[in-house]
Amino acid sequence: MKITERPSLKALNSFGVEAAARLLIQLDSEEDVLSMPPFDPAKDLLLGGGSNVLITSDVPGTVWLNRITGRNIVDSNPDYVWVDAGSGENWHDLVRWTLEKGLSGIENLSLIPGLAGAAPIQNIGAYGVELSSVLESVTAWDRLKAGWTELSTGDCQLAYRDSRFKSVEPGRYLVTSIRMRLNRAYHPRLAYAGLVDELRAMGITRPSASDVSNAVIRLRSRKLPDPSKLGNAGSFFKNPVLPADRAARLARRYPGLTNWQMDQETVKLSAAWLIEFCGFKGSRHGDAGVSENHALVLVNHGCATGSEILALANSIQTAVFEEFGISLETEPELVSF
């Protein structure tokens, strides 16, 4: 357990916004969790990789940094291998490690910033795959009951960029490790637009899981800004899901509106398309801006505060609502005290 007084949080959030706290305590092991002083949600903040938060005020109390590491194969049978990862493991390094072991299942989730413990919080997803397809269980410290608990995938209530940890009982659980069931045999999932084209551009027609990982890395690197160079938290809004008849009316009125049929009743619309239509792509308001490569990504050009980025997000929400009648939901956790 490492303790720092009056830390700056700038290097601890991928937006790179400045914020202060009274104390920073790094949790390196499950024993550290046991010796944690009481957590006060009104004053304290639990932070993983900081890649999915927008901090808009100082933290009056303590920031707990979850850095519990460890990755292990814990079980296997002829078809599957079960892998445990500490919540502080870097997600992308974990993906590459599973590929080196000849395992597949999370290759489409390559290069997602952040740590493994955050993966179930927002059920990370990309290129047609979500964590929910491989997650077996989550081990967490239950603050309510002051004891360890294991939650099955069902208990986690995973949905599109959502979970029990995020919206049902925020703050109750401190995730310390996740267990995934990965495949020995590779089952490619290449349906997401652009993936097959990218593989073709790489000269690959029968891809391995590692090839798909490399293709995803190329796609993401081209479209999404690298947070170590330009502060951002990936997609700032969720893609809105609408009843099919309403989506059809909008598609008739706005030809070109990108959308995906989810099931018979619902259609997902591209939030990036809506935002680009409203003229925000590449725009800049002081140091807060919208990426010129992807309209869904808000960026910090240097010294933007969290409040300035939030103000830009609010004006995007207003413009999209006035044009389309759609309320965009934010994806990152908004932190303010």
Is there a contact between 170 and 39 (Cβ–Cβ < 8 Å)?
A: no
Residue among 129 and 180 whose Cβ is closer to ligand EPU: 129
Shortest Cβ 163–ligand EPU spacing (Å): 14
Residue among 53 and 81 whose Cβ is closer to ligand EPU: 53
| List 281, 288, 320, 328, residue binding ligand EPU (CB under 6 A) | 281
Shortest Cβ 235–ligand EPU spacing (Å): 4
Q: Which residue has the tokens 């391995």?
A: 208
Q: Assess 223 for contact with ligand EPU (CB under 6 A).
A: yes
Shortest Cβ 30–ligand EPU spacing (Å): 29
Out of 14, 96, 107, 161, the active site residue is 161
Shortest Cβ 104–ligand EPU spacing (Å): 17
Residue among 193 and 202 whose Cβ is closer to ligand EPU: 193
Clarify whether 100 is annotated catalytic. no
Segment contacting ligand EPU by CB under 6 A, of 39-47, 170-178, 200-208, 267-275: 267-275
| List 163, 215, 294, 299, residue binding ligand EPU (CB under 6 A) | 294
The residues in 8-67 that bind ligand EPU, with binding defined as CB under 6 A, are none
Segment contacting ligand EPU by CB under 6 A, of 70-78, 97-105, 133-141, 231-239: 231-239
The residues in 115-174 that bind ligand EPU, with binding defined as CB under 6 A, are 126-127
Clarify whether 331 is annotated catalytic. yes
Out of 110, 137, 163, 235, the active site residue is 235
Contacts 24+ apart (CB under 8 A), 128-132: 128/189, 128/190, 128/191, 128/192, 128/195, 129/189, 130/158, 130/160, 131/106, 131/158, 131/180, 132/158
Q: Assess 270 for contact with ligand EPU (CB under 6 A).
A: yes
Shortest Cβ 106–ligand EPU spacing (Å): 13
Count of residues engaged in binding ligand EPU, rule: CB under 6 A:
20
Closest CB to ligand EPU: residue number: 234
The residues that touch ligand EPU, with contacts defined as CB under 6 A, are: 126-127, 192-193, 223-224, 234-235, 238-239, 258, 270, 272-273, 276, 281, 294-296, 331
Positions marked active-site = 161, 235, 331
